[in-house]
Amino acid sequence: MANPEAFTTASEQETFAVGQTLAASLAPGTFVLLHGDLGAGKTAFVRGMAAGFGANPEDVSSPTFVLIQHYRGRVPLVHVDLYRLETGAAVDDLGLEEMAGGGVVAIEWAERLPRPLEGSVTVKIDDLGNDSRLISIER
Ligand code: ADP
Ligand code: MG
């Protein structure tokens, strides 16, 4: 696999911008697998992706009980958060493979996937302290 691209951001807005830029380069059918601790900025990154696709970024949130959300833009974006899923079996029931269709699927807590997904880009966000984040993107 190619060397990851790396970005250091100093604010939520900068992380949003990296997500927005990535979105512009993604083909329909791509899975974006997001890794990073709670508060790393995964949802902020997905908010930027939504903006990149022309959807309303304000619709992107991490509500407590919603696992899957759809945002309508030029490219449909499916936003999945696996944080509350305990087992790989439960992930299987979601039918993620079928979810992309003509759009892009962004998955938070992708480490909970039971197996790799075809056609994916991996985004890792590390909290470097304060508002600094290291974002690496591997495709
Ligand atoms: P996650 O989805 O990974 O749990 P969120 O995107 O919901 O994280 O939250 C990230 C939090 O960190 C927000 O409160 C945001 O304002 C803050 N933050 C501070 N600096 C950054 C940064 N450089 N990038 C992203 N978020 C940041
Ligand atoms: Mg989140």
Amino acid at 37: D
Structure token pair of residue 113: 């996937």
Top mutation candidate among 7, 8, 15 for ligand 1, by most atoms within 8 Å of CB: 15
Residue 126 above 90 pLDDT? yes
Q: Give mean pLDDT, residues 51-80.
A: 89
CA of 52 to the centre of ligand 2 (A): 18
Distance CA 131, CA 19 (A): 17
| pTM score above 0.75 | yes
